[in-house]
Chains A and B, each alone.
Chain A
Amino acid sequence: MFDFDPKVAHLLRRATLGPTIEEIQDASQAGFQVTLDRMLAQLDRPPTREEAAAQAIGDVFLNDAESLRAGWMLRMLQSPNLFREKLTLFWHDHFATAISKVDSTRMMADQIETFRQLGLGDFRTLTLAMARDPAMLIWLDNALNVKGHANENFGRELMELFTLGIGNYTEQDVMEVARAFTGWGLDRGRFKFNADQHDTDEKTIFGKTANFNGDEVIDMITAGDRSPQFLSWKMWKFFASQDPTDDDLKPMVEAYKQNNRSASAMLKAMFGSEAFFSDRVMGRQIKSPVEFAVGVARGLKADLDPKLFANAAAAMGQSLYNPPDVNGWPGGAEWISTYTLLERVRLVRNLVARGGKGKVCGLDTDAIVSENFISTNDELLQHFCLRFLHRQPSAKLKRTLLAYMAVGSRRRDVVKLPSNEREDKIRGLCRLILISPEYQLF
C-alpha cells in the first residue's frame, strides 16, 4: 500500500522534522543519493517564495516568548525546507541560549537566524559570530567582562560546551581565555569592542603565550584536533544515537579537516555512512518534544494555532528559545519522565478528538479507507501503522490494536460498522498508535 525505501525514510526522519509518508514516498522515487544531495544543496541557493513567506510570518511573532516559539513552530510546520529548520534546532541546542535571561525576542530571533545563515558553513565562522552575538553576550555575561577582574562565564562555556569538552583545557586556560574576551561588549543592542576595557597583557593559553584576543583564541581552538572530535560527537548524538563510537565519528572528523571545518561536509559524511544506517541507530532514538509535536501535527494534517504545538513541546520538556541551561537539551532518555510522557499523551488526545465527520484532526480518514480499498481490521491497522510508524507494528502492539478494534464491534470489521462507531474506532486507533512507545522512537 505504501511504496518507499526504509533508508530514505530514516534519512528524512532524522534530518528533517516529522516527514509524512507521502513525502517519504516521493523522496524514495527520487532515490537516496538524490534526496541527500538535494537536502545539502538547498542552503546554498536563495530562498524560494514559500520559504520567504514562512520567514515573514515568523518575524511577526516577536511580542513575547510564547509568540516567539509559536513563530518558529509555524515555520517548522510550513517550511518546505525542514532540513534547515532541523539543523537550526541543532545549533540552537549546541550554542544553547535562553530567552529567560536574555529577555529580548529580537536578539533571540536574530541569534536563531544566524544559525540559519551560517549553519552549514565553516564552524570557525559560526563560533566567531556567536562570540559577538548580542544574545550570547548577555546570556554568558561577556558583555560585562572587563579587564582587571575578568568574568569567566563565556570563556569557560566556550571551551567546555561549545568547542572542546571537559578535560581538554585547564582552569588556568579558563582564566586566561576570559581575559582574551574582555571588552567584547554591547552598545545599544549591538556588538561593540571596547578597547579600553580589553586586557592587552600577555596570556598563556594551551601552553602558548602571547597577547591573545578572542578571535585568536577561537582560531586556535577550531584549528586543533579536539574541536572536530567534539563537534562530531554532538552532531552524532543529536542526529543519530546516544553512544557514538570513535569509528562512527571518524568520517565526520576527516570531513571537518578536509573541508575547512564545513558543517555541511560533516553532515554529508554522517548521513552517507554505514554506521548511520546500522541497527544501533535505526529506530533507537527517542524523539525530542519538537520532533514529536511536529510529527503528530504533520501526520494528522493539523491546521491549528502553532502556539498549541509550541506550548505542548514546552510542556514535554523542550521550550524553543528557552533551553533549561547552557548545556541545552541532553536528549535521549532525558526526554522521558512520568510528567513528560503524560504530556505527549495529552497532545495526542487533544488532536485526535478534533476533526469533523470522517476525519481525525485534518486527516480525511473516510477518503483514506475508500481510496485504499481497506476492508479488514488487519488492513486498517497496517495502513495507519505504515502511515505513522513507516513500518509494521510489533507483535504486541498489533495484538493490542486488534483487540481494541474487536471490542464492541460484534465481530464486524471496523470499516463496516455504522459510521459513528467506525469513526470512534478509527480515532482510537490513531490515538493508540501515536501514544505507543514505538511511536516515541524513530
Chain B
Amino acid sequence: MRITRREFMKSGASVVAIGAGVPTMLSQVAQARAEENNSSTRERILVVFELNGGNDGINTVIPLADKNYTIARPTLAIPPTSALELEKGVALHPSMTGMHELYKAGNLAVIQGAGYPNANRSHFRSMDIWHRADPGADVNTGWIGRYYDKTEHPPTSPVAMVHYGQRRPEMFKAGKAPSISINAIDDFYPSDGKPESLATSLLYQDKGKMGAGDAMMMEDEMHAMLAAPDELIQNTGMDIVRGSEIIKKVIANPRTPKVAYPQNGIGNGLSVFSQMIVENLGSKIFYISLGGFDTHARQAMGHANLMSTLSTGIASFMADLKEEDRDKDVMVMVFSEFGRRVYENGSQGTDHGAASVMFFAGGSVKGGLYGGYPDLGDLDQGDLKYNVDFRDCYSTVLADWLGTDPDRVIPGHKGRTAFL
C-alpha cells in the first residue's frame, strides 16, 4: 500500500516499512526527505515575483478614502462597490479575490508607499535599482547574489537559485553562486520517464547499454562543454551538469499538485517551483516575472487581467504549499520597478510614476497594512511620495527570514517593516 507523502513525512517512519515493489531510489529520496522535514530548522524559501513594466499601485491597493482618487482618474477609478476591502478606505483591485482571501486569513502583508529617494522613471534603470539594491563597488551584483557571496550562507545546492524563464535576473548575479534558468522540470531530464541526467543525454545519445568506454566518452563530452576560454559559459555549462544531477534524483513520475493552477505561464512556473520545494532539492530562492504592466493607454482591462493572473497564481501556490504543509516555510515577495502617475493621461492610461505597493504572502507572514498610503494631493512631480524604502523591506527579509546580517548585503538600511 502506498502511503501519501504527507503521512510519510509526519511519521518519519523507516522506509523499509513501505512494502515491496518500491524502487530503491524512491526509498532513498523519501528517507532523506523524512529526515529533513522532521528537523527543526527547515529551509526558509523566498519566491520573488516581479511585475515588469511599472505596476499601477494606485489601482492595485486603492485609496478609496482619498478624495483626489476619482478626480485624478475620471475613467480609471475603481468604484468602491467592486473593490475588495482590506481596511476602512483601502481596498484591493476587484480581480484580486485570491489575495483578498489570503489577507483575511492573516497571510498577506501590504506595504503601502514603497519606493526610494530620487525616483527614476526609466524602466531599465529603476528595475536595476530594485535588483541590485546599492551594489556599491560590486557593480555587477544583485542583492540575492550578494546574500550568497557576502554572508556566511554559501549555496548548499547547485539549484539554490531558480529562475523560471530565459534570462537570468540581475538580482541573482554574483561571482560564485550557481543558478538555473528553467522552463519545466523536463528541461533537465527527459520526459520519457527515465531519470537520466539530461546533460548526459544531450551530450551523448544513449544507444542502449553503455560500456566503460562509453562512460568515459560522456565525461569527455561534458568536458567539451566546459573547456572554455570564457568563464561565464563554462560556469553555466557546469550549472547545467550539476543541476541535472540533482534534478535526476526526482522521481520520474511528474507530481500532480492537489490544487489546480491557472493555465498560464505564471501557473506553470509556480507549479514547477512548488514541485522543487516539495521534492526538497535544496532550492532556496525562486524568481518569476510577469510582464505587461506598462499601461500607458487603455489600462482598465489589461490591468484587470494582470491582477487576476497575479492573484490566482499566488493563491494556488499558497494553497498547494498548505496542502503539502510547507506554507510556513515559503514567502512570496511581489514588487514592481515603479508605480504610475496619479492623474490618468488622455489615452485612458497612466504614465511612469514613483512609489507603489509591495506584497509579502506566506504562512509565516504577519498580515496587514504597513507603511502609510501616500497622499494623492501631496505629490512629487505628479507622483506619489514614498514612505517605506524598499531596501528596508529587503533588509527585513535578510534579517528576519533569511537569517543574516543585512548590512553585509545592503549596507546602511536600518529600518525594518514588521511583517515577519
Interface residues of A (CB under 8 A from B): 140-141, 144-153, 156, 160, 166, 171, 174, 283-284, 286, 316-317, 324-327, 333-334, 336-342, 345-346, 349, 353, 394, 396-397, 399-401, 403-404, 407-408, 428, 432, 435-438, 440-441
Contacts and interface: CB of A to CB of B under 8 A. Distances in A.
Contact of A339 (B182, B203, B237, B298): B182
Nearest to B164: A339
Contact of A432 (B168, B221, B229, B347): B221
Given A147-B346, A156-B121, A338 B229 contact: no
B229 A441 contact: yes
Nearest to A346: B202
A149 B346 contact: yes
A441 B165 CA distance: 23
Given A156-B352, A325-B52, 11 more contacts: A146-B347, A156-B122, A166-B124, A286-B230, A334-B168, A337-B163, A339-B165, A339-B180, A400-B224, A400-B227, A437-B227
B233 A141 contact: no
B308 interface: no
Interface in B298-339: 298
B220 interface: yes
Contacts of B123: 325-327
A437 B221 contact: no
A337 B168 contact: yes
B216 interface: yes
In the A-B complex, list the 7 residue pairs whose CB atoms are closest, starting with the nearest.
Answer: A149-B346, A437-B228, A144-B347, A396-B227, A337-B181, A437-B233, A339-B181
Given A340-B166, A342-B187, A160 B345 contact: no
Contacts of A327: 123-124
Given A144-B297, A339-B165, A152 B352 contact: yes
Contacts of A146: 346-347
Nearest to B166: A317
13 contacts: A141-B297, A316-B166, A327-B124, A338-B239, A339-B180, A339-B181, A340-B167, A341-B237, A342-B198, A345-B203, A400-B221, A408-B213, A436-B224
A422 B168 CA distance: 40
B236 A338 contact: yes
A156 B121 CA distance: 9
Nearest to A316: B166
Given A147-B346, A149-B343, A336-B233, A401 B224 contact: yes
Interface of B: 52-53, 121-125, 163, 165-168, 179-183, 187, 198, 202-203, 205, 213-214, 216-217, 220-221, 223-230, 232-234, 236-237, 239-240, 243, 291, 294, 296-298, 343-347, 349, 351-352, 381
A339 B232 CA distance: 14
Nearest to A394: B229
Nearest to B228: A437
B232 A336 contact: yes
A151 B213 contact: no
Contact of A403 (B180, B181, B187, B220): B220
Nearest to B119: A171
B77 to A, nearest CB: 15
A397 B224 contact: yes
A145 B348 CA distance: 10
A349 B122 CA distance: 41
B174 to A, nearest CB: 13
Contacts of A441: 229-230, 233
Contact of B236 (A145, A147, A341, A400): A341
Nearest to B204: A428
A152 B221 contact: no
B144 to A, nearest CB: 15
A149 B342 CA distance: 13
Contacts of A339: 165-166, 180-183, 187
Contact of B296 (A141, A316, A317): A141
Nearest to A319: B166
B210 to A, nearest CB: 11
B262 to A, nearest CB: 20
B187 A166 contact: no
Contacts of B237: 341, 437
Contacts of A140: 296
B20 to A, nearest CB: 38
Nearest to B381: A171
